């Protein structure tokens, strides 16, 4: 780095430190909220959500052949199959915008096309069945239905648009971008054993994080009460499979791959969560930006209110299901139905931490286009829905 760049960086740090408004109460609250959200994230989402997905992503890199991924999710794969699978994956994986990232990195670096990969990236956190049911119950069946249909359609359209926008890039052989671990799966293990291995890991991830909502969804609540038994059973099966069917070298390679994804993704997530908490706070807590400002600008069904709701939702971090009580409060403060749907379509699928990690995987240009597509489509859909409802 040149000396003048170093000087500018040091000078910028000096000015920031010199004018740091540490005496300001709102600034202090923002700092507290930033670290509080980071603590909450570490306690509630790392061990049981992120860590299992890191292991799954590592397993994809080592035990899933690149040819298999390209066949089903590559740029030239049959779009009906690839986009159908990618767009409904959220019904199985009840994950947030950050937990889906290792899985996205795993399939993308094994050869998945940018279209199916981003369709999966959006659908993972957006098409959460329990969240959609909770939306319909708390916020009304119309909003719940609009969210369900919008999320599925969004996943397909965003994926297709990403494919066509970057189709020239897809036609070229992608160079090593720092995430690819290996080219081909190095195993002669029968397919059914590999399938059972991945099923057990996904089963653990899904059931150990099963949400209770308010306990009124029948089967959902029954599964929630037994989630530790069900999830623990899947974990035991996974450990047994790894111990009996895997060679020592395979286990070592799997651990190395898992660690590779962890060290690439975790630091960016922690920084993003800290900044998001500092700016916007946690549910029912205020960060640097006053919550009444947000409530004020999303009132009604105007273009500005809907666009702001899309952008604000894209920047905020929503843990699974937390978007519903947040929206319930905003609707009570005068938020329009259109902006509410826009936030539901943009918020769970995007967040500031999510954006930082996506950029490190697919690059700045593709990330900006993906974010732009989500925000624009959420805004347009919100406007249409708001005009129909009003």
The answer to whether 297 and 304 have CB atoms below 8 angstroms apart is: yes
Check pLDDT > 80 for residue 9: yes
On whether residue 310 sits in a domain, the answer given is no
pLDDT-based confidence at 377, cuts 50/70/90? very high
pLDDT tens readout for residues 205-216 = 888 888 765 555
What local confidence, expressed as pLDDT, does residue 339 receive? Answer: 92
Residue 210 to residue 99: CA distance in whole angstroms = 14
On whether residue 381 sits in a domain, the answer given is no
Check pLDDT > 50 for residue 182: no
Burial-class residue 12 by CB neighbours within 10 Å (0-12, 13-18, 19+).
Answer: exposed
SS (H, E, C) the chain: CCHHHHHHHHHHHHHHHHCCCCCCHHHHHHHHHHHHHHHHHHHHHHHHHHHHHHHHHHHHHHHCCHHHHHHHHCCCCCHHHHHHHHHCHHHCCCCCCCCHHHHHHHHHHCCCCHHHHHHHHHHHHHCCHHHHHHHHHHHCHHHHHHHHHHHHHHHHHHHHHHHHHCHHHHHCCCCCCCCCCCCCCCCCCCHHHHHHHHHHHHHHHHHHCCCCCCCCCCHHHHHHHCHHHHHHHHHHHHHHHHHHHCCHHHHHHHHHHHHHHHHHHHHHHHHHHHHHHHHHCCCCCCCCCCHHHHHHHCEECCHHHHHHHHHHHHHCCCCCCCHHHHHHHHHHCCECHHHHHHHHHHCCCCCHHHHHHHHHHHCHHHHHHHHHHHHHHHHHHHHHHHHHHC
The angle at the Cα of 282, spanning 276 to 288, to the nearest 5 degrees, equals 60
The answer to whether 343 and 306 have CB atoms below 8 angstroms apart is: no
pTM value is 0.76
Strand partners, 300: 335
On whether residue 321 sits in a domain, the answer given is no
What local confidence, expressed as pLDDT, does residue 215 receive? Answer: 52
pLDDT tens readout for residues 314-345 = 888 777 667 777 787 777 767 888 999 999 89
Residue 187 to residue 126: CA distance in whole angstroms = 34
When pLDDT is averaged across residues 173-178 and rounded to a whole number, the result is 47
When pLDDT is averaged across residues 336-358 and rounded to a whole number, the result is 89
Indicate the number of domains in the chain: 1
On whether residue 380 sits in a domain, the answer given is no
Determine the structural domain holding residue 223 and report its residue range.
21-176+189-289
What local confidence, expressed as pLDDT, does residue 197 receive? Answer: 92
Q: What is the CA radius of gyration of the chain?
A: 21
The answer to whether 121 and 358 have CB atoms below 8 angstroms apart is: yes
On whether residue 216 sits in a domain, the answer given is yes
302: left (phi over 0), alpha (psi -120 to 50) or beta: beta
Would you state the structure tokens that stand for residue 388, as one six-digit string? 């129909």
pLDDT tens readout for residues 245-272 = 998 888 998 999 899 888 888 888 888 8
Check pLDDT > 60 for residue 183: no
On whether residue 390 sits in a domain, the answer given is no
What local confidence, expressed as pLDDT, does residue 179 receive? Answer: 44
What local confidence, expressed as pLDDT, does residue 181 receive? Answer: 44
What local confidence, expressed as pLDDT, does residue 177 receive? Answer: 44
Burial-class residue 196 by CB neighbours within 10 Å (0-12, 13-18, 19+).
Answer: middle
Comparing 156 with 216, which gets the higher pLDDT?
156
pLDDT tens readout for residues 48-91 = 888 888 898 888 878 876 666 666 677 666 777 777 777 777 66
What local confidence, expressed as pLDDT, does residue 64 receive? Answer: 76
On whether residue 160 sits in a domain, the answer given is yes
Residue 75 to residue 376: CA distance in whole angstroms = 24
On whether residue 315 sits in a domain, the answer given is no
């Amino acid at each position: 780095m040149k000396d003048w760049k170093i000087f500018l960086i040091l000078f910028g740090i000096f000015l920031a430190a010199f004018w740091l408004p540490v005496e300001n109460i709102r600034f202090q609250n923002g700092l507290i909220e930033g670290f509080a959200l980071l603590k909450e994230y570490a306690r509630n989402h790392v061990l049981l959500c992120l860590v299992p997905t890191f292991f799954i992503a590592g397993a994809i890199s080592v035990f899933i052949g690149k040819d298999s991924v390209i066949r089903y999710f590559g740029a030239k794969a049959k779009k009906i199959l690839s986009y159908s699978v990618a767009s409904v994956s959220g019904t199985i994986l009840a994950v947030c915008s950050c937990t889906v990232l290792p899985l996205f990195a795993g399939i993308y670096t094994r050869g998945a096309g940018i279209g199916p990969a981003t369709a999966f990236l959006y659908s993972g956190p957006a098409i959460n069945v329990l969240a959609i049911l909770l939306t319909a119950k708390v916020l009304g069946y119309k909003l719940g239905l609009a969210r369900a249909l919008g999320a599925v359609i969004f996943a397909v359209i965003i994926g297709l648009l990403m494919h066509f926008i970057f189709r020239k890039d897809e036609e070229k052989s992608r160079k090593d971008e720092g995430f690819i671990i290996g080219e081909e799966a190095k195993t002669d293990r029968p397919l059914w054993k590999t399938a059972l291995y991945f099923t057990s890991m996904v089963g653990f991830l899904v059931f150990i994080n099963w949400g209770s909502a308010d306990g009124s969804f029948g089967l959902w609540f029954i599964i929630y009460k037994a989630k530790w038994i069900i999830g623990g059973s899947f974990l035991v099966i996974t450990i047994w499979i790894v111990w009996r069917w895997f060679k020592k070298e395979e286990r070592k390679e799997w651990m190395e791959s898992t660690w590779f994804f962890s060290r690439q993704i975790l630091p960016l997530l922690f920084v993003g969560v800290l900044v998001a908490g500092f700016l916007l706070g946690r549910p029912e807590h205020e960060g640097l930006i006053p919550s009444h400002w947000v409530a004020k600008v999303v009132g009604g069904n105007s273009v500005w209110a809907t666009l702001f709701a899309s952008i604000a939702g894209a920047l905020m971090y929503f843990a699974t299901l937390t978007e519903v009580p947040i929206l319930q409060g905003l609707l009570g403060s005068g938020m329009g139905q259109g902006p509410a749907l826009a936030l539901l379509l943009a918020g769970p699928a995007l967040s500031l931490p999510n954006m930082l990690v996506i950029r490190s995987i697919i690059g700045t240009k593709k990330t900006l286009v993906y974010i732009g597509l989500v925000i624009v489509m959420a805004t347009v859909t919100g406007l249409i829905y708001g005009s129909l409802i009003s």
